[in-house]
């Protein structure tokens, strides 16, 4: 049985005071359920990672960054290395988020290098994939997502792949208020699991956690996670609201699969 995993992607939001306040609230609300029933990781902007780490205190909520660069150090102005993330207390890093793919124009090749470097350094990766609306409408969802996974995980062997959580985030659902239905998400998650079985093996395919992301809220969390292959959520907007994110984590802790 895969333990549910909820990620909070704060994106380019908060300031030092509100980031610390949100983190304090989360540690207060979630300490009891975290780790035992559900894994939770929050991903604030780089500049607030240390403050959030401090505010989370000894609770079991993980700390993640929203991106990382693959080189270990040197003349890469503006970039952040894996060891820097670990140095400030990160356990996780999001890689290949759709906003980086489509706004910053990150390629599958770059994402692959980042994923490989992150895992080699000992970070756990939340590797994001997902189709555009026109790709879905053209019936290309499965082929687009499969291609992103094959290219993103190229050269990453079974041992390293164990550090990966896949987040299926249809681009048309992110920040739009239009979530994929539980059924739509489940179908893609099944396809991803079958692909992982082919690329690695059946037993690993049953172990790897696949999150859904895209307008996940306190209102739809339980329904999304009622699907057998939806192992958690990557939450954007609703992760900035203490009450909503708390409810989402609680829904994961009390998950009932139908």
Residues labelled catalytic = 97, 169
Beta bridge partners of 177: none
| Nearest approach, Cβ of residue 240 and ligand PGA (Å) | 9
CB of 158 vs ligand PGA, minimal distance in Å: 27
Stated as kind and residue range, the H or E segment containing 64 is strand 62-65
Binding site residues, ligand PGA, CB under 6 A: 9, 169, 174-175, 213-216, 234-238
Q: How far apart are CA 110 and CA 127, in angstroms?
A: 13
Sequence-ordered list of residues with C-beta below 8 angstroms from that of 205, at least 6 positions apart, any chain: 193, 194, 196, 197
HSE-CB of 235 using CA atoms within 13 angstroms: 30
DSSP assignment of 47-68:
GGHHHHHHHHTTSS-EEEES--
Question: What residue is closest to ligand PGA based on CB?
Answer: 236
**Chain centroid to CA 76:** 25
Q: Which is nearer to ligand PGA, 4 or 236 (CB)?
A: 236
CA 254 to centroid of chain Cα atoms:
20
Nearer to ligand PGA, 200 or 248 (CB): 248
Q: Which is nearer to ligand PGA, 56 or 174 (CB)?
A: 174
| Residue with token string 């990382």 | 68
**CB of residue 75 to ligand PGA, shortest distance in Å:** 31
In the bound state with ligand PGA, the residue whose beta carbon lies nearer, of 118 and 238, is 238
């Amino acid at each position: 049985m895969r333990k549910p995993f909820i990620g909070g992607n704060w994106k380019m939001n908060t300031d030092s005071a509100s980031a610390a306040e949100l983190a304090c609230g989360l540690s207060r609300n979630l300490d009891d359920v975290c780790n035992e029933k559900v894994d939770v990781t929050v991903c604030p902007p780089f500049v607030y990672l240390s403050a959030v780490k401090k505010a989370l205190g000894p609770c079991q909520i993980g700390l993640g960054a929203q991106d990382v660069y693959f080189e270990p150090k040197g003349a890469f102005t503006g970039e952040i290395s894996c060891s820097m993330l670990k140095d400030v207390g990160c356990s996780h890093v999001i890689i290949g988020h759709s906003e980086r793919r489509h706004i910053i124009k990150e390629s599958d090749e770059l994402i692959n290098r980042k994923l490989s470097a992150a895992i080699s350094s000992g970070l756990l990766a939340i590797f994001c994939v997902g189709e555009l609306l026109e790709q879905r409408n053209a019936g290309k969802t499965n082929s687009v997502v499969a291609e992103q996974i094959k290219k993103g995980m190229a050269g990453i062997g079974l041992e390293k792949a164990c550090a990966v959580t896949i987040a299926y985030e249809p681009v048309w659902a992110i920040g739009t208020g239009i979530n994929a239905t539980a059924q739509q998400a489940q179908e893609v998650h099944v396809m991803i699991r079958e692909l992982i079985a082919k690329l690695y093996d059946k037993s690993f395919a049953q172990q790897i956690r696949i999150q859904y992301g895209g307008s996940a809220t306190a209102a739809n969390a339980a329904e999304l996670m009622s699907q057998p292959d939806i192992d958690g959520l990557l939450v954007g907007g609703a992760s900035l609201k203490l009450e909503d994110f708390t409810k989402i984590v609680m829904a994961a802790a009390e998950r009932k699969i139908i």
